[in-house]
């Protein structure tokens, strides 16, 4: 199996970022270390985190779309709702990838 140089598998790293916006989660920070975890455990944890995190963004986008609709911006609403569909489909793919890894089907 070829090593992916873009994925940091060292035991000493963190993930962090902050979002600032007018929607429900305002700002958040994600930090943890992976000491003692295998590369596969790290990948599973990251997939799980990303699926959950992206679901939050999907809900925010839905709220934004509703505000667009309420202000009469129907075309922008429809485009934003199309983006929601793609976000949701992407999140399902992440969940499927995680399940695949958990069941050792991949």
**14 assigned to some structural domain:** no
Res. 43: pLDDT tops 80: yes
**8 assigned to some structural domain:** no
pLDDT at 33: 57
**25 assigned to some structural domain:** no
Query: How many independent structural domains does the chain possess?
Result: 1
Range of the domain at 91: 39-102
**72 assigned to some structural domain:** yes
pLDDT at 106: 79
Q: Mind giving me the DSSP string for 48-89?
A: HHHHHHHHHHHHHHHHHHHHHHHTT-HHHHHHHHHHHHHHHH
60-89 residue pLDDT tens:
999 999 999 999 999 999 999 999 999 999
Q: Do residues 20 and 8 lie in contact, with contact meaning Cβ atoms separated by under 8 Å?
A: no
65's CB contacts (< 8 A; 6+ apart) are 77, 80, 81, 84
**61 assigned to some structural domain:** yes
pLDDT at 13: 40
Average pLDDT, the chain: 78
pLDDT at 36: 65
């Amino acid at each position: 199996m070829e090593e992916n140089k873009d994925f940091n598998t060292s035991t000493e790293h963190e993930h962090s970022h902050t979002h600032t916006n007018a929607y429900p989660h305002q700002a958040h920070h994600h930090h943890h270390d992976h000491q003692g975890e295998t590369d596969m455990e790290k990948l599973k944890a990251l997939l799980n985190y990303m699926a959950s995190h992206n679901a939050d963004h999907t809900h925010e986008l839905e709220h934004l779309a509703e505000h667009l609709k309420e202000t009469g911006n129907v075309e922008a609403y429809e485009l934003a709702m199309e983006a929601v569909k793609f976000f949701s489909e992407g999140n399902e793919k992440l969940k499927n990838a995680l399940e695949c890894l958990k069941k050792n089907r991949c």
